[in-house]
């Protein structure tokens, strides 16, 4: 079974702090993704990566950056957290190619005060 | 820009009844995915539809894809309480990048 894990289930940070969200997958997937989920808006793609050290902007990259130094790990960074980044963050991974589903981690609920 | 619309957004149905959730999308694609999310949990893959006319069934759920109409349906047969969840469709816009609908919250009542 594919397993995608995220470093924290719940996180509370203060405005202006630098925040790191970590995601690890154990199935040697090439693709990894970061989404945020907000009520009434569904899931919106922040960044994704097709390979180590590669990254592509999604639909809402502003205020975020990512890092992928190893194939199994994809980090989302909030350089200076703001209250409008309070959200549920979901990481996903999939195999290369476009016929495989994405496998999701349990999510991190981030609150920025 | 690809847009994915689901309707209804909220569905309350009685056990034993049938209903259909619709997923419309705005640009050409022949890859569509359905996911389920239970409250407080992450997304679980239900179906992968990869061509026009594709139909997949699992238990009381059946999904189909009409790429010409840019429409997918998720049909629920004889609903049971365990099916209460939020259902998302997602369309592959380019190279494994998915665009999600806003979700349909299904509540099955006795």
Tell me whether residue B32 is exposed, middle or buried, using C-beta atoms within 10 angstroms of its C-beta: 0 to 12, 13 to 18, 19 or more.
Answer: buried
Cβ-defined contact of A45 to B99 (cutoff 8 Å): yes
Q: Is B48 on the interface with A (CB under 8 A)?
A: yes
Residue B17's SS3 state is coil
Per residue in B22-75, pLDDT (tens digit) is 999 998 887 899 999 998 888 999 999 988 889 999 999 999 999 999 999 999
Q: Which two tokens stand for residue A102?
A: 């994405």
Instruction: Give the nearest chain A residue to B94 (CA atoms).
Output: A98
Q: Which two tokens stand for residue B57?
A: 């069934």
| pLDDT at residue B2, rounded to an integer | 87
Q: Which two tokens stand for residue B47?
A: 């179906």
| pLDDT at residue A80, rounded to an integer | 97
Q: Is A90 on the interface with B (CB under 8 A)?
A: yes
> Which residues are paired to A41 by β-bridges?
none
Cβ-defined contact of B97 to A45 (cutoff 8 Å): yes
- Decide if B19 contacts B79 (C-beta within 8 A): yes
Which has the closest alpha carbon to A20: A36, A2, A6?
A: A6
Cβ-defined contact of A98 to B48 (cutoff 8 Å): no
Give the least confident one: A55-69, A75-89, B25-39, B85-99: B85-99
Report the distance separating Cα B16 and Cα B28, nearest Å. Answer: 35
């Amino acid at each position: 079974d594919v397993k995608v894990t995220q470093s924290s289930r719940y996180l509370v940070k203060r405005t202006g702090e630098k925040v790191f969200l970590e995601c690890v997958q154990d199935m040697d997937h090439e693709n990894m993704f970061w989404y945020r989920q907000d009520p009434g808006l569904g899931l919106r793609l922040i960044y994704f990566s097709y390979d180590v050290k590669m990254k592509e902007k999604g639909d809402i990259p502003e205020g975020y950056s990512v890092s992928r130094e190893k194939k199994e790990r994809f980090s989302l960074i909030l350089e200076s957290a703001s209250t409008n980044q309070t959200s549920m963050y979901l990481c996903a991974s999939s195999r290369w190619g476009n016929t495989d589903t994405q496998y999701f981690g349990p999510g991190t609920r981030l609150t920025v005060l | 820009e690809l847009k994915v619309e689901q309707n209804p957004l909220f569905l309350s149905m009685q056990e034993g009844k049938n209903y259909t959730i619709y997923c419309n999308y705005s640009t050409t694609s022949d890859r569509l995915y359905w996911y389920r999310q239970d409250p407080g949990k992450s997304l679980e893959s239900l179906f992968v539809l990869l061509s026009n006319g594709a139909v997949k069934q699992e238990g009381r759920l059946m999904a189909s894809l009409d790429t010409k109409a840019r429409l997918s349906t998720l049909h629920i047969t004889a609903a049971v309480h365990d099916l209460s969840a939020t259902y998302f469709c997602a369309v592959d816009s380019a190279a494994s990048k998915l665009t999600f609908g806003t979700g349909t919250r299904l509540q099955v009542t006795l």
